[in-house]
Each structure stands twice: as structure tokens, then as C-alpha cells.
Amino acid sequence: MKDIQLNKLDANQRKLLQIGVVILLAIFLGFYFFFQLKSKPSTPKNNEVFLKDTKLQVFNDTYTFNGYPDRILIHYPYFLFVQGNKPLTTIYNLETKQKEKEIQDVLLDYYDGNIVYNRKETYFNDKNLGEYCDAAFIKSNEDILCITKQSQNYVDNMLISINPETPNLWKRLYQSDNVLTTVSIINGDLYVGEINFESKKSYLSVNEKSTPVENIVSLIYEMGGNPYFASLKSALNNNTESYYLIEDGHFIKQPEDKISLYR
């Protein structure tokens, strides 16, 4: 009976086979690690978000900000850069430091995948709120804060609360002798920016208590767990920019040559 040869390869052939296996394994591992690294979001080199003159820096991305119709909105942890002429809203997550998405529209607010935007009237996702909001804040899916005119023929406006399921039953939350400009809720407190166009004076309302401030309230936002407001360049503040920490009823101007929005 003849012996059965399980391996008829000579020494050189076995060596070439081993080299081939090693090369295939290296190629497989290379592709594996390449796609693993590609699937992981890149770590930003710049961990800040700030506005300095017309330069808007959002982590690794740089934009030009020239004011209206462009807008900056923050509903923590989301940062929105609204480019009104395109129209385009670019949304970043401040906690992950990554771009969340781009939406071909002018948004009034974004939170957890939900959006508020204007048509002839204002919509929360696909639900018509029955009002036209100049500014909005998503408090919850059942409570949308909306700054809207009391009448289309008047400048005077008011802050109302709208349940998208029953928009006709909106509730009036706040109004004053001034024009309301922006609204936010931070740590459970209600903040509203105001301006009096006759006196050119600005105010910040905290839980319906209005206090004069030295500059226009363009943006109210949260940074590091604390409330801030920013004053963007406009004719109402001699085209200067600044930002303030809101602390115990005081507004503390920050000694920087830029507006820090996240750090």
C-alpha cells in the first residue's frame, strides 16, 4: 500500500504560500483599520466656538458672519448657524463637537431632531402653529415658545406658548412696553431680550422681571452650565460686539475681544 502524501509542495512552494498568506492577512487588516478610522468622527483641532468681527469659528470650520439675514442660535447642546440668503441652517452638537446636519431652510430653533421654521405661518416639524413667530424656542414637543406680533399692523409683540396639537389654544406668557427680540430657557429660568426703539434702550427679562442692560440682547445662550447673553454688531450698539455672564441678577461684561459661544 502506497503512502498518501497530504502535502506535495516542496520547501520553496511552502515558503511562497506562507508569504502569500501573510500578505493577504496584512491587506485584510489594513482595510479593516482604514474603515474603522474612517467611520470614527475626527477630533476637532479647535475646541472653541466664537465670533470675532465677521469670523465665526465653529470647531474646525470657519464661516463669514455679516449679520442679518444670517443668524446664530444656541439651544444647548445644539449650535445653529442660519444663512438666510441660501437658505441653509448648519447644526452642530456642542457636546460631540461634530456637525449634526444641514437643513435647506431658515430655522428658528432645533432640538433633538425637532425643528421650528416659517412659511406663511410657523411650523413645528409638519404641524402648523397658526401664528407667525419672529423667534421661537422648543421647550418640549407639547410647548413651543413663540414671539409673535399682537397684530400685523403693530410692532408690539408678545411671548406665547403653543401646543402643536391644539394651536388655537395658545397661552400668553409675557409682554411688555418694549419689543421682544429673543427667548430662551436656561436652568429652568425664562429669559427674554427686549428693546425700546424710541429710547434705544435694551432690557433683559428674567422670569418676567425686566432689567436695563447696556447693550442690545442679540442672543441668550448657555455655556458651561451658566447663562450668557451676546450683543452682536448693529447700529443700535455702535457696531460693537460683547458678551455678558448673567449671575445673581447682575450682567458681567466679559473682558475678551471676541464673543465666546462655547469653550
Under 8 Å between Cβ of 72 and 219: yes
Residue 257's φ and ψ, nearest 5 degrees, are -95, 20
Q: Note the residue count of the chain.
A: 263
What is the mean predicted confidence (pLDDT) over 229-247? 92
What residue spans define the domains of the chain?
46-98, 99-257
pLDDT for 4: 47
| DSSP state letter for 216 | -
**pLDDT tens for residues 158-200?**
999 999 999 999 999 999 999 999 999 999 999 999 999 999 9
Domain at 99-257: CATH code: 2.130.10.10
Find the largest Cα–Cα distance for the chain.
Answer: 114
